[in-house]
Amino acid sequence: MSTILHVQMTEGSVQQLDVDSRLEKHGGRSFIARYLLDHVDPRCDALGPNNVLIFAPGLLAGLPLSSTGRLSIGAKSPLTGGIKEANVGGTPGDKLGRLGIKGIVVSGKAREGIYTLYLSKNGAELVESGEMAKLGTYETTARLLDKYGDHCGVLVIGPAGEMELRGAGISATEDLENVPGRMAARGGLGAVMGSKGLKAVIVDDSGTSAPPVSDMELFKQAARRFAKELIESPKTGKQGSMHRFGTVAIMGPVNDIGALPTRNFSRGQFEGVPNINAEKLRETILERGGKIGQRCMPGCVIQCSNIYVDEQGQPIVSTLQYETLALMGSNLEIDNLDEIAVLNRMCNDFGVDSIEMGAALGVAMEAGLAEFGDGEGARKLLEEIGRGSVLGRMLGNGAETTGRTLGIERTPVARGQAMPGYDPRALKGNGVTYATSAMGADHTAGNAIGSRKTKDPLEPEGTGDLSRGLQQMAAMLDMTGLCLFARPPIVADPDLMIQLLNGRFGWGWTVEDLVEAEDELLRMEREFNTAAGFTPAHDRLPEIFYREPLPPTEAVFDVTDEEMASTIKDL
């Protein structure tokens, strides 16, 4: 039985209601878009009582199926001013699926204090948690697991979320390590959670089983084929780069095409790459007794995560990923894995997005607040977030606030959100996604890096169609809870996804229905943003990206307005 949990923070009330028909076929990001469009004034103050924060597992959550437990979290974003969904791996998504919870809708604002929401098969309860105020995510998670048991999944914010900093994310526990190493990082959703007075959500799935399956035979067959194809694939299998290296496998190719953010997006290649790339990361971790090939979600056969350890073999952070290595590495000209890992752990502990912070630090370095390449300087700046100083709050509010305050023209943002690890001048498809997606600058909304071999990354023509297709695929991933890494079998045969969905729900969908659902999702998000005040004039990158050539390709962002508009036509 699938339900929606309504948590009214002003009243401190929790109510579990049946899913109404408008939401029935929506999951994850799609559930979020439908709910926000139906119930929230897009002009509301994102940090005020009229915004709602939604946790929604994908349609396939909770099943014995690889790589489909990603949890979507969404709200009106205090960072972009538009609709936002960020999703996260780890354990809570699957556990919510097992609890039969299709969505948690958190509304209002606690009159005082902070609270933990505890969920189990016996119901839901808000627990006053003042003793955890301003605690980091590691300590908070450890205390909660100690109290509720290691089998629980935990979602938590750090001090950044409590301070309502727009760079704050929401962390989730990983399957094997049970530390808050995963984050729904983007768009400042942690600040929304903090504004509501919610510190953590505990998902206790003891005594539950997988959700019902409509056509078990169809589902099992498809699930088996899906796992088999993932395991046998040269990319996602045990010998594949995803398993062996994780996301950082992409650093080499991005550097090769000259799109690796370097020195606050002033260059596209970094000479320190050999010290922080895929091979170096793997070698360092293995040498020191850290771990490679970890899974973040139960049942995942790809297992792309790592545990980065120090020279004594003690864990610093899990999992050290490409975006962090780009934004806090090359972008800051820091070519030392230990230094980047420490910065990453600090971000995790404060509960801030390492992409947004890397971009903010790059801007701060450009303004002279520290030297490029100075890991110690970066650490000292980042520490200010924990202190809640004016400097720390500026950085914690992200790259745009930092650039605006310090007067830095080259501030790498779109719709107020920091660009991830792909300079849009040298990978134009990503520029189109940054500019046109309702999500703002977000690689997970439609990443063109995978198409670099079939389409010249510098060529502006055709980037509209390219980005559109990628945005549709991202929509599919984000409504089903599927991990981006697990997309190849579905991309090769979309019917496999249809079999999984029809097996689970008995909807009798065709591939066309799925495509329409993807388009509907993009349309809903666009509609929300239009009502929030966005127009095609916002489908742009900062002016300097159109003007300043990026070494070594010397490319500028030259996608025409017409090409840009083609991306979102008919939406």
CB of 567 to its own copies, least distance (A): 17
Work out whether strand 53-57 and strand 71-76 pair parallel, antiparallel, or are unpaired.
antiparallel
Q: If DSSP codes are grouped into helix, strand and coil, which group holds residue 314?
A: coil
**Site stretch for its own copies (CB under 8 A), options 272-280, 332-340, 371-379, 526-534:** 526-534
517 in contact with its own copies (CB under 8 A): no
43 in contact with its own copies (CB under 8 A): yes
The interface with its own copies within residues 296-325 (CB under 8 A) comprises: none
- Neighbour count for residue 109 (Cβ, 10 Å): 17
Buried b (16+ CB within 10 A) or exposed e, 137-173: bbebbbbbbeebeeebbbbbbbbbbbbbbbbbbbbbb
565 in contact with its own copies (CB under 8 A): no
Among 99, 163, 254, 521, binds its own copies (CB under 8 A): 163
CB of 358 to its own copies, least distance (A): 19
CB of 562 to its own copies, least distance (A): 15
Nearer to its own copies, 413 or 517 (CB): 413
371 in contact with its own copies (CB under 8 A): no
> Phi/psi of residue 330, each to 5°?
-55, -40
CB of 125 to its own copies, least distance (A): 28
Cis peptide before 319 (omega within 30 of 0): yes
Among 200, 249, 365, 369, binds its own copies (CB under 8 A): 369
Nearer to its own copies, 220 or 404 (CB): 404
> Phi/psi of residue 414, each to 5°?
-135, 130
Output the six-digit token pair for 307. Answer: 């545990």
207 burial type by CB count under 10 A (0-12 exposed, 13-18 middle, 19+ buried): exposed
CA 13 to chain centre: 29
Give the whole-angstrom CA distance, residue 477 versus residue 516: 14
Among 17, 210, 216, 390, binds its own copies (CB under 8 A): 390
Give the whole-angstrom CA distance, residue 425 versus residue 431: 7
Q: What is the 3 state secondary structure string of 12-57?
A: CEEEEEECCCCCCCCCHHHHHHHHHHHHCCCCCCCCCCCCCEEEEE
CB of 359 to its own copies, least distance (A): 16
CB 557 within 8 A of CB 424: yes
Give the whole-angstrom CA distance, residue 35 versus residue 39: 6
Nearer to its own copies, 41 or 287 (CB): 41
CB 268 within 8 A of CB 425: yes
Give the DSSP letter string of 272-292.
TGGGTSHHHHHHHHHHHT-EE
Give the whole-angstrom CA distance, residue 349 versus residue 343: 10
**Site stretch for its own copies (CB under 8 A), options 53-61, 276-284, 296-304, 538-546:** 538-546
459 in contact with its own copies (CB under 8 A): no
Contact string 540-559 vs its own copies (x = CB under 8 A): x-xxx--x------------
531 in contact with its own copies (CB under 8 A): yes
**Site stretch for its own copies (CB under 8 A), options 18-26, 42-50, 422-430, 432-440:** 42-50
280 in contact with its own copies (CB under 8 A): no
* Single-letter amino acid code for the residue at 460: P
Nearer to its own copies, 164 or 518 (CB): 164
8 in contact with its own copies (CB under 8 A): no
Helix-strand-coil percent breakdown of the chain, rounded to 5? 45, 15, 40
Among 532, 550, 564, 568, binds its own copies (CB under 8 A): 532
CA atoms within 13 A on the CB side of 347: 39
Nearer to its own copies, 42 or 136 (CB): 42
Where does 185-227 show beta strands of DSSP type E? 198-203
CB 481 within 8 A of CB 211: no
The interface with its own copies within residues 395-454 (CB under 8 A) comprises: 397, 401, 404-407, 409
CB of 38 to its own copies, least distance (A): 18
**Site stretch for its own copies (CB under 8 A), options 100-108, 148-156, 162-170, 432-440:** 162-170
Among 538, 553, 556, 558, binds its own copies (CB under 8 A): 538
80 in contact with its own copies (CB under 8 A): no
70 in contact with its own copies (CB under 8 A): no
562 in contact with its own copies (CB under 8 A): no
The interface with its own copies within residues 213-252 (CB under 8 A) comprises: none
Q: Identify the CA nearest to 211 among candidates 95, 374, 344.
A: 95
CB of 394 to its own copies, least distance (A): 5
Q: In sequence order, which residues have a C-beta less than 8 Å from that of residue 351 and are 6 or more positions away?
A: 136, 137, 156, 157, 158, 159, 160, 161, 168, 169, 170, 171, 183, 190
**Site stretch for its own copies (CB under 8 A), options 65-73, 144-152, 497-505, 536-544:** 536-544
**Site stretch for its own copies (CB under 8 A), options 37-45, 113-121, 225-233, 500-508:** 37-45
1 in contact with its own copies (CB under 8 A): no
Nearer to its own copies, 37 or 544 (CB): 544
Among 274, 533, 551, 552, binds its own copies (CB under 8 A): 533
CA atoms within 13 A on the CB side of 460: 13
Q: At what angle do helices 463-480 and 28-39 cross, to 10 degrees?
A: 90
Among 165, 359, 432, 524, binds its own copies (CB under 8 A): 165
Interface with its own copies (CB under 8 A), residue total: 36
Among 5, 14, 47, 555, binds its own copies (CB under 8 A): 47
CB of 258 to its own copies, least distance (A): 24
Contact set with its own copies (CB under 8 A) = 42-45, 47-48, 50, 163-166, 369, 390-391, 393-394, 397, 401, 404-407, 409, 530-535, 537-538, 540, 542-544, 547
